Structures are given as C-alpha cells and as structure tokens.
Chain A
Amino acid sequence: MINCLLFYGLDSPEHDVSVVTATEIMRNAPSRGIRLIPVYGKHGRWFTGEELAEITSYAPFDEKRFAEVVVSGKTLYKLKRGKAKAWIKADCALIACHGGAGENGALQGFLDVNGIPYCSSGVFASAMGMNKAAAKTLLSAKNVPVTKWKLIKASEKESALAGLKENDFPLIFKANNGGSSLGIAIAETAAEAAAALESAFKFGDEVICESYLTGACDLNVAVLTTNGKMTLSEPEIPFKSGKILSFADKYTLKENADDLPESAVSDSDKAEAVRLAAIVAEALGTEGAVRIDFLACKEGVFFNEINTVPGSLAAYLFKEYSFTDYLRLLIESAAEKKEAATKRYADTGLLKLKPKGVRRR
C-alpha cells in the first residue's frame, strides 16, 4: 500500500486552478494499492479531509471543518487541541500546486528536507521553470532558440520605458516569476508599453519584456520522465481567443474549440518542437510531467516557457493513458525513488574527536 500525499492550494495567483486540478485528481485517483491523502495548503497551514474532494468546500473555505496536519519527516501528524498525533506515514507526494511556492521549488525543498520523494521536478528545475529570465539564459547556452528579451526591475521602470525604440515593437510584458498567463499584455506603442508594464508588475517584482512574434502559434509539448525514462507527447496547439493565450482560454470552458489553427503549424515545426523539448527537459533535469510551451512562426520555433506543474498534470497530452493509469504511473514511480531520497550522511568521525592538547586552566 502506497500512501501518497497530494499537496495543493497554497497562496498563489493560481490557487483556484490548483484546487480544480486537485479535485480532478482526487476523483480519478487510482485506489488499488494506493491511498491518496489530500493535503491542502492555506496561509502556511495544512488541512486534510475527504470533504476536500468537493469543490463547494472551497468557496468559502471553512477551516473548522477540516483536520489540520503537520508534516515532520515522513510522518503526517493530525493536530487536535494543540497536540500532534501521528496519523500516517507517507511514501511519496504528488504536487498539484500551480504557481507560487508549490511550483518554484520551495515546496520541493521542503519535501526534500523531510525525505519524502515526489513525482515532479526537483528544486533546481522548479526554480528555473518559474524564473523566465534564468531559464532563457540557461537554454540559450544549450542552443535552444529564445526570443529577444530583457529583464526589468521595479527600480528601472522609467529608464526601461525610455530606452524602447520604435522598431522594438510589438513587445510582450510578463511577470518574470509568474505563470499561467496572468498579467501578460502586448504593447504596440510606448503608451501601451507603460500600461502593460504596470499590469505585469502586479504579479511580480521583476518583469520580462520580450519581442512579440507576430503571427506566432503556440505549440505545447509535454515531457513525462519516470524512472529515468523520458516520454514526449505529440505537440498540441492550444486554443486561444485573442493574440495571446489568456488565463480564461486555459482554464475556462472552450466553446469553439473547432477553431484550432491546426494547419498553421507545419510538421517540421512540430518535429522541431519535440526535439527542443527533449533538450530543455534534459538541460533542466525535469522529472514527472512537465509542459514546455513553444512559439512557432516564420523565423522558426522558439522556447517560450516551461511549466513544471502543468494544469491537470498535462495528462490530456498523453492520450495513451487514462487519467487514473497516468496518476498511478506517476505515484508508483515516485514511491520507487525511496532509496534515492534517503539522506546521504557520511560519518567523518569529526564529531567524535576528543579535543587533545587543550589544557584546562
């Protein structure tokens, strides 16, 4: 029996998306030989209970109805009147947090310290995935094409806007540390650039400004790495209602999904995206399921961003698995990491040395 903790929620702009993904996971979770325990993060505290499977439990979230838990080592303790009672021993964890601490490596680090293996990317890949500028720097060194970009700090707002030239436009502004398309805007003129910059700063302290590829088509490839084996999905062209893929497009109902611009991307571009996806995943050392987003246009295929915890864990891109079987694969592969995750401790004998030659006065 594998006890798997499902971590989700946490304070991030994408909290609601995380809840949707998690309830979806709970409903479809494999049950034979696997027990999935929801662990919902809210303002730095963790809660559990079967009722978390109901989406109505979150609006509003009444913490009195749920048991608070703490994680210490691999053991999950239930808190009751200020006393912790050992409840369950975790074999692995499944991370369904989007954005914020759950995706940028912080939660991953917490689990590493506790010795709980998890079925997604580690601290480094997660942190790189959340930091667009860092990812682009690393990947251009690996010859992965990226669009021209510039990082703008909050203090450099004015100078950056003044430095924009006529032929730089159109530009696209995004929060450097954000995900999920929130606060993204395109600017065609200097006036629009100022507004776009403002809206992007709402979602982070740094903003990345990139040249916008006119007529570019989004192309997503999911990479599944389990037990050291890498599987690449077919490239997918997400539906978008405007020039950019908005938050609403990604997570709300798509009514006219027939309008997909399938023909807009050539087969060679698709093959190129798959080739690059393997390089990106390799370079960052991703694990579990990640989704890598590319932009395809006349000039070629460019790396756009990587999601180390993609929506629905990118299950829909691997059509060969049912969601249940997909989750089973992820959970079982994480539970097998048991050995690798045990902390390495070398006994150097340093601590056993008795101080010699030190005289007491």
Chain B
Amino acid sequence: MNYDVLILPGILFNMFRCVVTGKKDAPAVILLHGWGASAAAFGPIAKALENEYRVIAADMYGFGETPHPDRALTVDDYADGVMETAKALNVETAVVLGHSFGGRVAVKTAVKYPALVRKLILVDAAGLKPRGVVFKRLRSKIHKILKKYNDRGLKGSLDYEAASGYLKATLVNVVNEYQEAEAAKIKCGALILWGGRDRDTKAYMAYRYRRLIRGSELHVFKDAGHFSYLDRTAETIVLIKAYIGGE
C-alpha cells in the first residue's frame, strides 16, 4: 500500500499544519474541524477514506498545533489558509468537508475559490444567522450597561470564555458574520449532514442550508447531536463515500 503520512509545519508558509494520509496521487479530501477541535477530531472519517483518497486533516489557526497569528482573524483569513495549504500540497481541486465552524470556512472557501472546491460537504455547519437575534441584542445592551458599573458585564459563551488573546477577537468576528448570501452563490452543490438533536447549530439551519445551496442533498440523523459524524460514524462514511465516489 502506498501510504503517505505527512505533517506540515504551519507558521512558515502562512498555512495550516496538517495530517496528510492516504494515497499520494488520489483525489484529495480536505477536512476542516469545528471551533476548539483539531485535525484529530476526524479520526474515524480519515481512516475510512485513506484507502482511496488523499486525506488532509487540517489544524486551523489557533487550534491543534497551528498557532494563531497576532491579530484578529475573519472567516476570510481561514479560507485563505485553506487555499494556501492546498497550494503547498499541490492540490488543485479537492472535496472540502467542514464541521461546525469548519463549515463556515468551507462555505467561504467554496465561494472564494470555486476552482479548489470540487465538492462540498457540510456537517452540522455554522454560518447561518441563528433565530432569536432580538433577544441576543437585548442581552448585549444589558451587558454594555452592566459593564459600565462592574467592569465585567455578563458572561460570554463557553467558546468565548475558553478563548484567549486574539482568538477571542477572532471568535467575535466569526460569529457575527452571516453567510446566507454566500451559501446561495455556491455552484458545486453540497451534501449536508446533520444531527437531529444538535443543540449548537440546530436542525432548522440544515433545512435552510438545503434551500440556499442549489443542488444540495440533506440527511438528518434523527438521534445524533452536534458531533453527528461521531454519533453515526458508519452511516456518515457510507454517505460521504457515495457522494464523492460517484463520478
């Protein structure tokens, strides 16, 4: 078997550090993890694909072993990172799979670099404007008023509290960007996989993504959560393989 395991340093080339496995000359699959996760989160998926594909699991800026640059990033910067990484690996065209925050990056990449993204797979992807924004606006007002008095205000989300330094600023940039307009511009279609019991990116977002992306197909795993691909690994693998293998 012709296995090629490669670990690339991230900082030098302005790209992601990646775990690359699988056959060298096979079609590439780029895996983009969610917020707070890393390349390792795709273990079983990468393993199932490496027999037939070149699997590139990235650690995106600020996660895993790729450091975060000393400035606040936007989703655009992450999409550029995907492109740089692909260039460095001589990947011209690839299947891009994004989970959660990785889904935002994948959508952005598909719009910004349509030549790179041959097929798109979104798993419990973020990026759409969540419901209940009015309440959130009210909450931020309260936060601002409180901050005046006790200098701390309300607590942020779990991700926000866990982040530090520039990553915190990046998170603010990222969650405040809504990608409805971009999703509508995607031309390559998409396979959308979702957990029916997802509490972070709820299932209504899955249906909205399906409506927005032309030629997309949706599968909802009834009893799965936000990490639906880990709850229903075998089924996910079968669906992914059927989607990217048929050509």
User: Would you call B246 and A1 a contact (CB within 8 A)?
Assistant: yes
Most chain A CB within 10 A, of B27, B238, B239, B246, is at: B238
A53/B245 contact (C-beta < 8 A), A28-B48, A32-B52, A322-B1 known: no
**CA A219 to CA B27, docked complex, whole Å:** 41
**CA A272 to CA B19, docked complex, whole Å:** 46
User: Would you call A50 and B239 a contact (CB within 8 A)?
Assistant: yes
A53/B246 contact (C-beta < 8 A), A322-B1, A324-B52 known: no
User: Would you call B238 and A322 a contact (CB within 8 A)?
Assistant: no
Q: Which residues of chain A come closer than 8 Å to B238, judged between CB atoms?
A: 26-27, 29, 50, 53
User: Would you call A32 and B51 a contact (CB within 8 A)?
Assistant: no
User: Would you call A324 and B237 a contact (CB within 8 A)?
Assistant: no
Q: Does B232 contact A (CB under 8 A)?
A: yes
Q: Give B198-247 interface residues, CB cut-off 8 Å to A.
A: 219, 232, 234-235, 237-239, 241-242, 244-246
User: Would you call B219 and A33 a contact (CB within 8 A)?
Assistant: no
A23/B234 contact (C-beta < 8 A), A29-B241, A35-B245, A50-B239 known: yes
User: Would you call B51 and A325 a contact (CB within 8 A)?
Assistant: yes
- Which one of B27, B219, B244 lies within 8 Å of A50 (CB-CB)? B219
Interface membership of chain B positions 1-12, coded 1 if the CB is closer than 8 angstroms to chain A and 0 otherwise: 100000000000
User: Would you call A28 and B51 a contact (CB within 8 A)?
Assistant: yes
User: Would you call B245 and A32 a contact (CB within 8 A)?
Assistant: yes
Chain B residue with Cβ nearest A38: B238
Q: Give A1-53 interface residues, CB cut-off 8 Å to B.
A: 1, 23, 26-35, 50-51, 53
Q: Which residues of chain A come closer than 8 Å to B245, judged between CB atoms?
A: 30-35
Q: Does A54 contact B (CB under 8 A)?
A: yes
Closest Cβ–Cβ distance, residue A323 to chain B (whole Å): 8
A50/B48 contact (C-beta < 8 A), A31-B242, A35-B242, A35-B246 known: no
Chain B residue with Cβ nearest A65: B222
Q: Does A138 contact B (CB under 8 A)?
A: no
A to B CB contacts below 8 Å, 29 in the list: A26-B234, A27-B48, A27-B238, A28-B51, A30-B51, A30-B245, A31-B52, A31-B242, A31-B244, A32-B27, A32-B52, A34-B245, A35-B242, A35-B246, A50-B219, A50-B238, A50-B239, A50-B242, A53-B235, A53-B237, A53-B238, A54-B232, A54-B234, A54-B235, A55-B234, A322-B1, A322-B51, A324-B51, A324-B52
Name A's B-contacting residues (CB within 8 A).
Answer: 1, 23, 26-35, 50-51, 53-55, 322-325
Name B's A-contacting residues (CB within 8 A).
Answer: 1, 27, 48, 51-52, 219, 232, 234-235, 237-239, 241-242, 244-246
